Amino acid sequence: MASTFNTSATNGDDDKGVSALERDTLLMHASGRPGKIEIVPTKPLATQRDLSLAYSPGVAFPCLHIARDPSLAYDYTAKGNLVAVISNGTAVLGLGDLGALAGKPVMEGKSVLFKRFADVDSIDLEVDTRDVEEFIGAVRYLGPTFGGINLEDIKAPECFIIEQRLRELMDIPVFHDDQHGTAIISAAGLINALELTGRDMAKTKVVVNGAGAAGIACIELAKAMGIRHENVILCDTKGVIFQGRTEGMNQWKSAHAVATKARSLAEALEGADVFMGLSVKGAVTAEMIATMAAKPIIFAMANPDPEITPEEVKAVRADAIVATGRSDYPNQINNVLGFPYIFRGALDVRASTINEAMKIAAAKAIAALAREDVPDEVDAAYSGRRLRYGPDYIIPVPFDPRLISSIPPAVAKAAMDSGVARKPIIDMAAYKRELSARLDPASASMEAITEAVKANPKRIVFAEGEEEKQIRAAVAFSNAGLGHPILIGREERIRATMKNIGLPVAESLEIINSRLSPRTGHYTDMLYERMQRKGALYRDAQRLVNQERNIFAALMVESGDADAMVTGLTRNYWQAFEEIQKVIDPTPGELMFGMTVFIAKGRVVFVADTTVMETPTPEQLADIAVQTAHKARQMGHEPRVAMISYSTFGNPSNDRAERVREAVEILDHRKVDFIYDGEMGADVALDPELLGHYPFCRLKEPANVLVMPGLYSATIGSKLLQKLGGASVIGPILVGMSKPVQITSMDASAADIVNMAVLACHDALK
């Protein structure tokens, strides 16, 4: 269903002050189902019996059991995996006091991060009051519903009172991420920075600028880990917080007042080892940094702009270690490294609170992970940077898949050791394996591919450049820093469309009219040379180059004038594929076919061939298996291949299954380097219980690559799953072409087109 939302703020002449990022963000939030979260049932509700078990009359039984033993709520309800993100909107994401309702997009976003990174279900709750007692009263009675409370974007000093009181009143973890999340990640970075510079924590002199929630939490955690009270100077907008100061003080600032002659931030920084900034852009100058001790550690964490940039620091102190809150610099202090995994560990042991021991354990686990060898897939995702422990890598990157198996176990163990765990974990090794299985492999794979493309930007042709979706996709591709987009079409049409939909003229966009291009003659010669012995005249080649944008785009890629192309909105898949084949050949020794990636319930399944070959021969089925397995590996998945048939290991017996059996025999002779078996039904391939009925089967886990016996079954099954199965879909991805080309479906969204453009550019990296 089309989205209906007010676009008046992002269209026309009134739109001059609106950035492309703002437009894209508003469109993303408003398109489809508004917002970023929805509720999905976890049990079948298809029949009357299902309803009678889930609701009346059967639901009475778990109710009665919980009434007798409240701990059973964790067994019979979602409580044990449910966190509330609660705010009153008084300190929204550096924007200030916007109020509860305006803060809702941030809280929904936080809920999404909980799910994405740690598989924690989360619901945002916006409490419309600035009164501390009213807020506490509204939250304290929610304990039966949730396994934990994540307080968010509440201004200081009220946040201190609220968190402390709720921790006393509730028997579930209460955690204010603005305070403790930043403190934990910065503490992890500090552990490694001190180690790299050869410092003793007990002798380290620290200056903190910013006496709000995060600044005070950072000081308290640093002191708990060994930084001495007298070696920490806290500053606010009025200067140093010293013993005897009365102006602008409160009990939380007073707790960190020290005896010092320094009265300004500049004076405090003289000879200091560490600066931690949680204040505002420009609060620190290069001159101040120059007065610090040798090998200074500077954590400039103000958002969106740091107190001082790494470039400004390096200009005066080449020996400095620098961290910021920004993703475009090394050493990002990013709370997403902490809160999802801290709650994951706390929930899994049913902790009654998140205490100091758990925070320290999280910080140490994060620091330790940065010292480990970085897996190839993580290194590849951040190509262009060397992810090796050292001054530019003291904190793991947010998309490191090892975070989920490193931090929650450390937090859970600390909870058990400190006596706040109500359900201790017996087998920690099994727990770590279970955690790794929770991670959404598709998100990690696409992020790795996207980061690799961003680090090695390519020139990509959007063949249907006059189409609104392709224009939006090209602009989004450019704005994301993914490469250089080229739109094929008439410039006046494209510019008019951009104006009508409120997109600014982007200098990074290149527009080429095939009729007017100085390369048209060269492309015509190229095409005629390929077609002259296939019944084509020169004027036929000339007409195709002038009028068929897919052919023009393909010629750009074939000649090296562009690195990749994407198309598909105005032609069905097979027609677009036929046009491109006039220009680009298969990779020597490989087949061309379509592979579709399905993501559902945390599983990723590669299905092929979904677009090209009607009835593959046994040899072709074997080739498809080999190439799809290779592609799966490129996307970060170890292939387990099932050769699919309606027959499972000869039952029912039929000659039509023979092609699939022969394909398996061919793979046997080739001695391939991946696990495979067949012929088997799709249900057996995907269901571990059914797979268990065949102990001789080489697949000991469900398959993640399905090689289909023919195009009919592949296409019908894929489209049914896409429309009815609730799966996310990537593709079909064109495999086996000698140049990077991807074809979208005709109903693709701008976001789908961007994904396919990223995949095409990723192919160009090889």
Q: How far is CA 69 from CA 73, 140, 148, 380, in A?
A: 8, 21, 20, 50
* Two structure tokens written together for 189: 């970075």
Furthest C-alpha separation in the chain: 95
Whether 739 is catalytic is: no
* Beta bridge partner(s), residue 644: 680
DSSP 390-430: BTTBSS--TT-TTHHHHHHHHHHHHHHHTT--SS--S-HHH
What sign does the dihedral 57-62-64-65 (CA atoms) show? positive
d(CA 258, CA 273): 17
153 is in an annotated binding site: yes
DSSP 104-151: HHHHHHHHHHHHHHH--EEEEEE-----HHHHHHHHHTTTTT-SEEEE
* Two structure tokens written together for 138: 């509204």
d(CA 612, CA 711): 7
Residue of 16, 36, 43, 110 marked catalytic: 110
- In this structure, the chain runs to a length of 766
99 is in an annotated binding site: yes
675 DSSP 8-state letter: E
Q: Are 656 and 650 in contact (CB under 8 A)?
A: no
First vs last C-alpha separation in the chain: 39
Cβ neighbours of 575 (radius 10 Å): 13
335 DSSP 8-state letter: G
* Two structure tokens written together for 97: 């006091």
Contacts (Cβ under 8 Å, ≥6 apart) of 112 = 36, 37, 122
232 is in an annotated binding site: no
User: What is the layout of strands, in order, in the sheet containing 148-151?
Assistant: 121-126, 82-87, 148-151, 174-176
Burial of 327 (0-12, 13-18, 19+ CB in 10 A): exposed
152 is in an annotated binding site: yes
636 is in an annotated binding site: no
94 is in an annotated binding site: yes
Burial of 188 (0-12, 13-18, 19+ CB in 10 A): buried
137 is in an annotated binding site: no
Coil vs helix vs strand at 431: helix
User: What is the layout of strands, in order, in the sheet containing 483-488?
Assistant: 510-512, 483-488, 458-462, 564-567, 741-743
Cβ neighbours of 37 (radius 10 Å): 16
d(CA 319, CA 708): 58
d(CA 10, CA 382): 33
338 is in an annotated binding site: no
d(CA 381, CA 379): 5
Detail the residues annotated as belonging to a binding site for NADP(+).
Answer: 92-99
Detail the residues annotated as belonging to a binding site.
Answer: 92-99, 152-153, 178, 303
Detail the residues annotated as belonging to a binding site for a divalent metal cation.
Answer: 152-153, 178, 303
- Give me the active site residues, please: 110
